[in-house]
Every structure is written in C-alpha cells, then in structure tokens.
Structure 1
Amino acid sequence: MRIDRRALLGGATGLAAAALLPRAAWAADKATGEAMGDDWIVINALGGLGDPNRRGEADPFSPRVLAEAHASGLTAVNCTFGYVSGPGDPFEISVRDVAETDALLRRHEKDLLKILSAADIRRAKAEKKIGIIYGFQNGAMMGEDASRVDIFANLGVRIFQLTYNPANQIGDGSMAPENRGITPFGREVIARLNEQRVMVDLSHSGERTCLEAARISKAPISINHTGCRAVADLPRNKTDAELRLVAEKGGFVGIYFMPFLDVSGHARAEHVVAHIDHAVNLCGEDHVGIGTDGSVTQIDDLKVYEAALAEEIAQRRAAGISATGERPDTYPFVVDLRGPDQFRKLARLLREKGYRTARIEKILGTNFLRYAETIWGS
C-alpha cells in the first residue's frame, strides 16, 4: 500500500528540527489576509499522506498526519498506488494495493474520501475531508492486456501515468536514451483510458512519448508533476514543446517541489515560483497547477532522514529507476516550502510576484478541478 509513494522517505516533505509547526503559524494568514482563503479548493496533483518519522506502519493515517493535512488546507491529493518498480507481479501488486487502501479509507471515513469524480472533490471540501485520488505511476501492470484498464477503472483508479523513468511496454520514460515514442500497445492503452475516462498522465515520460500521447489521445492529457526544462535543463523537466502542446489540447501541467527545479539540485521556493511563472506564460493561467511529489508532514530528525535518503538513492540507482539530478545531498523536496504551511506560503509568494487572487486559486486547485471535470465528468 503506497498512500505515500516514498515509503522509505516518508513523502520527502519537510526539513525541521521541531516536530510540529505551531498551530498559530498555520492560521497567521487569516489575520493578514495575505494568502489563501478557507473556502479555496487546494489540490495536489501528485503527492501523498504519511508520517516520515514512523516508517513502515500498516496504517499511515496517524492522528498527526490527518491533523496536519487538514491544517494545510488540502482538499484532495493524487496518491500513487500499485506497482512502480521492483520484484513481484505488477498486476497482482496493484490489485492488492488498491484493495488494501479501500479498507484503510473505510477505517478513516470521517477524515478521508475516495475520489471518483470531480463532484467528489467538491464533496470532500464541503464535508471537511481529504480527498484521495487513486493514481498509478507506471503502466507495467498492464502486461500485454489493454483490457486491464477496465479492471482498474472499475476499482476506482482515476489517473494513469504511462511510464516511470525507464522504458516499458507502453513507451519511453525520461531516462530512456533512445527517446522512442508510444508503442502500438501503448496506443491501445491510451484508447482504452479514453473510453474509461481515466486521466492519461505523461509525468516521467520521454519527450517523444509525451508529444505522441498528446496527439494520439482523444481526451486532454496531463503532466501532473514536472518542471520546465527551459528554466532548469534536466531530463525530468518538460520541454516548452511538450508543455505548450498539452495546454493547447486542453490539458493540465502540475509543477513539483523537487530538486530538479534547479540544476544545483538544491531547489528553493523561488525556483518553484519561477517554474510556475514560466509555465503560466507558456501555457496560460488555466492549465497550470501544482503536483508537489510530497506530503505535508514534517521531518523531525534530519540526520535519520539523510541516512534513509542515501539508502534510497543507492537502491534507485541499483534498480535503474533514478533520474539525472538525484543525489544523496539533494533533498526530494524544497527546503523552504514544506510542511503544513506550504500551500499558504506559495500563495503569498505568488501574490508577491504580482499574481491576482483568481489566478492563485486556479494554480492551487481549480485548474485541476476543471480538468477533472473534463475527463471524469462533474
């Protein structure tokens, strides 16, 4: 079960000596009127929920995790489930993961809601719950049978990322050197995803794979967590051609809070703003949002975290799934944009950049909601 995709890293969301931010800090913007309103819909197009300080627990939804998620203002988050890499049968792993998560959400129904439609996101907001969107980050579980799309759609999977960093039977990932496009089987999968009204996500894909998918798909596609290669030239970031085409087709682009936002690997909040600004200027303000690739729970002990990070990077390299720019000294989060206040801080920074309130609301959630209505229906 992968509510928090980075099981070892606990979501890679924060860098803090203290366990929790004071609750007064979360509420500070109410008094100043400088950040986001309580009525805003905030959607993380790729993230997770979990406690990085208590790894390996069967139930990631501790009281602390739930409290910080609520305090952050989060309305819904696309969480990664199923197979990404490693041993075992990808199909079996993915089915089991979805079933186990369904059971967990039933256990926490007062706080969490499984998202099947755009209306469910609005319902989560109205009922003061956190919406959990089921998503995949690797199409390996398809095997050679595109009809498996139907199985997972019926199980409630709403976002399907075609590849991870390497190539698979659908297409090439961002680290596949050949930069081949969508395979014939990949075309079948995309057609089936369109029929089932499942989002086609091209995060982690190679450039040609992304461009071809955007043209092949009968529905708009998304790149739920990425950066802009024109701002930081690294393979995990998307070229202007990819970003522009996705927007022209009516899709969605989510900017992540990851080290790839700066070629040094040490990304800060200013880099997040720079990538959002580039994407907005290129794609238009109706097609850009956030997909942080992290959660909102703070990390209590940095030294323990750094040891886990070094082990994780070594494992990813050995498995052949790491990306250029990943190193033990590059935290997979933005050091000054983390924890329960991350969305409010981003709103403040965008306001300081000159963004008006309506545009900031779009970026923090309503653009994804609009896109979800297009794909899933209202």
Structure 2
Amino acid sequence: MSTDYMIINALGILDNPNAEHSLAAAHKLVQDSDDLTIDARTLADAHASGLTAVNITLGYTMGDAEPYSHTLREIDVWDRFVADNPADLVKVLTADDIRAAHRDSRVGIIYGFQNAVAVGDDPTRIAQFHHLGVRVIQLTYNQANHIGDGSMAPGNRGLSAFGHEVVEALCDSRIMVDLSHSGENTCLEATRAAKLPVSINHTGCRALVDLPRNKTDEELRLVAERGGFVGIYFMPFVNATGHARAADVVNHIAHAVNVCGEDFVGIGTDGTVTSIDDLDGYRAQLAEHVAHRQAAGVGAAGERADTFPFVEDLRGVDQFHQLIRLLEQRGFNSTRIEKIMGRNFLDYADRVWAA
C-alpha cells in the first residue's frame, strides 16, 4: 500500500472531541468554531492519518445567530487557529497550496460554508468572502433557505431566482458551488446554471440507500458530466439500517465511480480524524442531540438516536489507510485509489480556483 497518497477530505472536522472544551460543547444544538479543540492530539492525529487537506465548516449553518456577522467572526476564529499553528496548518487559497501542504507535511485548511444564508440579499458579499479566504460555499443545509430547497424541504422547489444570482456570483468569484444537503431539483438546476463545475462534497448514493441526503444517479451523473466532484461520506446514510460499516462506504464509492467515472469521485467524511474515546458516554448524549435537531427542523431522515453519525469501523487515525486497504481488496488499482483519496479533488480545485 502506498503511504504517499495525497489525502484530501472534501468535508471534515478538525477537533479533539475528547478534550474538556469540546466535551462541554457536545450537547449544544449549534456548535461554533469556538467550540473546537485544536490541540496537540488533534494535530498529531491529523498528521498520523496522512491527511493533506480538509474542507472545514465555518460560519452560519443554523441557529439564532445573525448569519453575516457570525460568519465573519468564525473566519477570524479559523485565521487564529491557523496562525497559532504555522508548523502544522496552512490556509488554502489555491490548489497549489494543497500541493505545498503535501510537500511540507502540513495540513491544508479549506474554508467552507454549509449554508449560504450569510450572503443575505447581497451577492456582492460573495466576493468579500472570497477575499477573506472562503473557497467552498454550500447553497443550503437540510432545510429551505432563500436560495433553494434543502434535502428535507418537502416542496423540492429547486433554485430560487435569487439563487441563480448567487450561483453566478460564486462562479464569478471562483468559489466552489457545493450542492451537498440540497434538494434534488436545487442540485440539478444549480448544476445546469453554473458556469463552472460544481461539487457534492459529502453525500451517498440514493440508488443504494433511498434517503434524502443521498444523491440520485441523475444528480451524480450531471455533476460529473460537467467536470465536477462527488465526495462520499462516512455517515449512517450509507446503510438503510443506519448502522453503517466500512464496507458500505466502499459500496457507495464503487457505485459513484460506476455512475460518474473514476475521475470525479472522492471522499468527504463529514467527521473527525480523532476518535471519540468514550462511545458509551457519547451514546448517552446522542438521543438528546438528535431530538434537538429534529425539534429545530434541521435533522435529516436517517438520523436516529440509536445510530452514530459516523461509521464505527472507519474512524480514527487509520480511517484513510483502512479505506485504501478496502479499495485494494475491491480490486481498485493504485491509480484509481490515488484519484479517490485526493487527486480528483485537487484536479477539481484546479478547474474552479484557477484565475
């Protein structure tokens, strides 16, 4: 097995969930960047995992905070994290920054949103976000917003008129248009409207598990045909029971490759590298957290109190190397595995971020 694959997580979390600060925030419905712990274990685990770069979530996703001001403050928080750890972290502004992170054995931090609400009614804010270093903006979370419908919005109404303006402004600023969490029509319409390739940075395949957070073959194929990127997540939605296993992730990757081709599929785990040590304690808190998400209308079908929001046998510092081993066992050659683990995302970044 090659140990020098470039590993790029198209959506992940950098945090030590066992640290006292992170544990204290674990019960909150909305966790902010201030709630994260970037400590020695976080950084050591990221390096040990082989991680080259990760798209982290910052800014407003849901909750009562004022979206725009909250998002600006979150960018400041992450700028401080990066500045405080210059030997380990680097802020990614270009695809070459990811290449440099790999060369220098640092972890590239890609700033991304999981909801575009902070744009407000002013698309010119998108250029400001780009200036501040944001390189990925997801249009919606699970619910509808003024840009389009999320995957749990019952109307499946697609992209709004303002949403078309947002997509155009994102392309003008060369920010990735991420269609994770979007409703089917929002995804299809945004993909067709975009002047640049778009992405679905963390998803599964609905042909295998029929849940709203997973994408249909039509969505996957259209994104790939237009030069985009699809990242498969390590989430309960890859198994109909919710008790997902590593083999399920491999099945979704294989299906996505069959639909999209091997040049357009990668990984977006939606999780941490550092494992939760006390799973029994975490399980006790999970029911309350899931109930709060459902009550707030931000949960997704498939989130349940008895299922972890990660794949239990594909976590921790060995998760990427374990996935490589499983892909090898599936018969994938080293070139295909290299593409899936990072090169496809890097090539997509070249297509979108290049001036």
Task: Give the TM-score of the pair, scaled to structure 1.
Answer: 0.89
The reply on whether 1:218 has 2:195 as its aligned counterpart is yes
Structure 2: which amino acid aligns with 1:364? M
Percent identity, aligned pairs only? 59
Alignment of structure 1 residues 69-84 onto 2, 5 Å = 69-84=46-61
Match for 2:346: what amino acid? L
Distance (Å, rounded) in 2 between the aligned partners of 1:160 and 1:59: 21
**Residue in 2 aligned with 1:266?**
243
For residues 317 and 159 of structure 1, the distance between their equivalents in structure 2, rounded to whole angstroms, comes to: 26
Gaps of 5+ in 2: 26-33
Q: Aligned runs of 1:104-115 on 2, under 5 Å?
A: 104-115=81-92
1:81-110 per-position Cα deviation (integer Å, ceiling 9, x unaligned): 000100020001000000121012101111
Partner SS for 1:79: strand
Map 1:224-263 onto structure 2 (within 5 A): 224-263=201-240
Give runs of aligned pairs for residues 1-378 of structure 1, distance below 5 A. 35-37=1-3, 39-54=4-19, 55=22, 56=25, 60-377=37-354
Alpha carbons of 1:58 and 1:162: their partners in 2 closer, same or farther (altered >3 Å)? Answer: closer
Whole-Å Cα distance in 1 between the matches of residues 228 and 36 of structure 2? 34
Cα separation, 2, equivalents of 1:93 and 1:334: 31
CA RMSD, aligned part only? 1.0
CA contact (8 A) 2:230 2:266 kept: yes
Distance in 2 separating the partners of 1:77 and 1:315: 28
Secondary structure of 1:254 counterpart:
strand
Matched-pair contact (CA < 8 Å) for 1:59–1:104? no
State the Cα deviation string for residues 199-247 of structure 1 (Å, max 9, x = none).
Answer: 0000000000000000000000000000000011111000000000000
CA-to-aligned-CA distance 1:258-297 (integer Å, 9 cap, x gap): 0000110000011001000000001000000000000110
TM-fit CA distance, 1:319: 1.1
Contact 2:60 / 2:115 at 8 angstroms: preserved in 1? Answer: yes
User: Could you say what secondary structure the match of 1:307 adopts?
Assistant: helix
CA shift, 1:58, in A, is 5.7
Instruction: Report which stretch shifted further, 299-308 or 348-357.
Output: 299-308
For residues 237 and 298 of structure 2, what CA distance do their matches in structure 1 show?
Answer: 15
Greater relative contact order structure (CA < 8 Å, 6+ sep): 1
Once the two structures are superposed, residues 324-346 of structure 1 have per-residue CA deviations (whole angstroms, 9 ceiling, x without a partner) of: 00011110111111100000010
Distance, in Å, in 1 between the alignment partners of 2:35 and 2:267 is 28
Deviation of the 1:169 alpha carbon: 0.5
Q: Deviation of residue 59 (structure 1)?
A: 5.9
CA contact (8 A) 1:36 1:344 kept: no
CA distance, structure 2, for counterparts of residue 190 and residue 258 of structure 1:
27
Matched residue type, 1:52: P
Q: How far apart, in 2, do the equivalents of 1:99 and 1:51 lie?
A: 20
Q: Distance in 2 between matches of 1:118 and 1:40?
A: 16
**Letter in structure 1 aligned against 2:16:** D
Q: Report the alpha carbon displacement of residue 61 of structure 1 after superposing the two structures with TM.
A: 1.3
Give the aligned residue type for 2:89: L
Structure 1: tracts of 5 or more residues without a match: 1-34
* CA separation of 1:172 and 1:58: change in aligned 2, threshold 3 A: closer
User: 1:368: Cα distance to partner?
Assistant: 0.2
